[in-house]
């Protein structure tokens, strides 16, 4: 299934069909779970290529991640993609988790090493661990072979870091790491958030020159407040554009509208530059990401277009306004 299939608005935009996908994270309360169910239905109605579900450090959200993947698979037409991390877990535990994903019918994965938790749990001295994304890819394939290729259609994605790899600020290191993941069997990559189109486009150029041929999908997030912008900047280790930070903090326009406009501008620039798709970080909210897609001309189903038009015709009420 592809998302949209229309060309983004603007005379300078590419003419080939554009796909998109979304990321959500497991809810932390019953109320959040109920709200997220509605959000996922809205996202799925836009017909994304997939919806990915994050996975907490040390497997902390293992059960809730799996439950959310199962919900997407059983209650929407979207393709679920499960994140897998290897920090602070044993090889045996990770293999069991991969098996649980397969048992649920999940065959799409995003393999990422993950962040080291503040308080790592003690592992047995003789515990066998998985230490890299390449090792995760190898283990996924091993478990899949043991199950005789069931479920079918295995796809493995990996992370890419235009602004510098977590282990190094070197662009060369980031490119070499992505090349190694490709050689291990990765089929596409999704980037960490970035603020400037050239950061993504120059990274893709460097990766192609080094021999990376898999699709590199830009990760985009429409921020909705100055506080959220600051948090995202800390996450990616980059200062946001000065004008964006100023407008969010002191501008006379709605910060949510500012964030949507910035995401549209960034998305359009990377698409014009050749990006094969867009991966939108939703923060478990649908309105802003759908607004970005609508302004790019990528929402085309009557149901999703109609809901979005009615939802954006007035300002959001306090009960449904997005928060960080």
- Per-residue model confidence (pLDDT) at position 185: 97
Asked if the model's pLDDT at residue 21 lies above 70, the reply is yes
Q: What is the pLDDT of residue 314?
A: 33
| CATH code of residue 171 | 3.20.20.220
Q: What is the pLDDT of residue 302?
A: 55
Q: Is residue 50 part of a domain?
A: yes
In a domain, 232, yes or no: no
Over residues 118-134, the pLDDT tens digits come to 777 788 888 899 999 99
Element (H, E) at 100: helix 91-103
pLDDT value of position 163: 85
Residue 12 lies in a domain: no
pLDDT digits (tens, 9 = 90+) for 262-313: 999 999 999 999 999 999 999 999 999 999 999 999 986 555 445 444 444 3
Residues with catalytic roles: 23
In a domain, 230, yes or no: no
Q: Is the pLDDT of residue 220 over 80?
A: yes
d(CA 76, CA 40): 8
Q: For the residues of 22-83, what is the DSSP string, one character each?
A: EEE---SSHHHHHHHHHHHHHHHHT--S-EEE---GGGTTHHHHHHHHHHHHHHSSSPEEEE
CA distance 246 to 82: 36
pLDDT value of position 309: 46
ω before 151 within 30° of 0 (cis)? yes
Q: Which class for 185: exposed (0-12), middle (13-18), buried (19 or more C-beta within 10 A)?
A: middle
Using CA atoms, how far apart are residues 78 and 287, in angstroms rounded to an integer? Answer: 18
Give 67 or 319, the one with higher predicted confidence: 67
Mean pLDDT within 62-69: 89
| Domains of the chain: total | 1
Q: How far apart are CA 271 and CA 288, in angstroms?
A: 19
Is 8 part of a structural domain of the chain? Answer: no
What are the tens digits of pLDDT across the range 182-197?
999 999 999 999 999 9
Q: Kindly state whether residue 213 falls inside one of the protein's structural domains.
A: yes
**pLDDT at position 227 over 60:** yes
Handedness of CA 197, 157, 230, 220 (dihedral sign): positive
Q: Which helix or strand (DSSP H or E) is residue 101 part of?
A: helix 91-103
The residue length of the chain stands at 324
Residue 256 has pLDDT above 90, yes or no: yes
The neighbour count for residue 256, using CB atoms within 10 Å, is 22
Range of the domain at 290: 19-223+255-311
CB 291 within 8 A of CB 36: no
Residue 245 lies in a domain: no
In a domain, residue 2? The reply is no
For 28-51, the pLDDT digits (tens) are 888 999 999 999 999 999 999 999
Q: Provide the whole-model pTM.
A: 0.86
Distance CA 268, CA 275 (A): 9
The mean predicted confidence, pLDDT, of the chain is 86
Secondary structure (DSSP) of 133-176: HHHHHHHHHHHHHHTTT-SS--EEEEEE-TT-BTTBS-HHHHHH
User: 243-253: per-residue pLDDT in tens?
Assistant: 999 999 998 99
């Amino acid at each position: 299934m592809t998302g949209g299939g229309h060309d983004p608005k603007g005379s300078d935009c590419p003419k080939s069909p554009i796909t998109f996908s979304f990321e959500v994270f497991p809810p932390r309360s019953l109320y959040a779970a109920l709200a997220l169910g509605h959000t996922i239905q809205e996202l799925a109605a836009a017909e994304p290529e997939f919806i990915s579900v994050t996975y907490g450090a040390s497997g902390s959200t293992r059960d809730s991640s799996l439950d959310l993947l199962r919900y997407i698979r059983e209650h929407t037409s979207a393709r679920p993609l499960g994140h897998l991390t290897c920090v602070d877990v044993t090889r045996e535990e990770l293999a069991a988790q991969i098996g649980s994903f397969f048992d649920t019918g999940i065959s799409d994965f995003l393999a990422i090493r993950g962040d080291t938790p503040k308080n790592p749990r003690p592992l047995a001295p003789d515990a066998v661990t998985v230490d890299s994304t390449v090792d995760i890819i190898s283990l996924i394939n091993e478990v899949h072979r043991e199950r005789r290729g069931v479920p079918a259609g295995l796809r493995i994605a990996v992370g890419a870091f235009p602004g510098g790899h977590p282990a190094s600020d070197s662009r060369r290191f980031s490119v070499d790491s992505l090349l190694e993941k490709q050689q291990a069997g990765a089929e596409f990559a999704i980037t960490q958030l970035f603020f400037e189109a050239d950061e993504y486009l120059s990274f893709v150029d460097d990766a192609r020159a080094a021999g990376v041929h898999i699709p590199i999908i830009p990760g985009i997030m429409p921020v909705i407040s100055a506080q959220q912008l600051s948090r995202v900047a800390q996450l990616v280790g980059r200062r946001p554009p000065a004008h964006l930070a100023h407008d969010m903090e002191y501008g006379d326009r709605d910060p949510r509208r500012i964030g949507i406009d910035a995401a549209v501008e960034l998305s359009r620039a990377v698409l014009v530059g050749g990006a094969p798709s867009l991966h939108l970080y939703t923060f478990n909210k649908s309105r802003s990401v759908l607004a970005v897609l609508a302004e790019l001309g990528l929402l085309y189903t009557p149901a999703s277009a109609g809901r979005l038009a009615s939802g954006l015709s007035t300002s959001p009420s306090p009960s449904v306004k997005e928060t960080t």
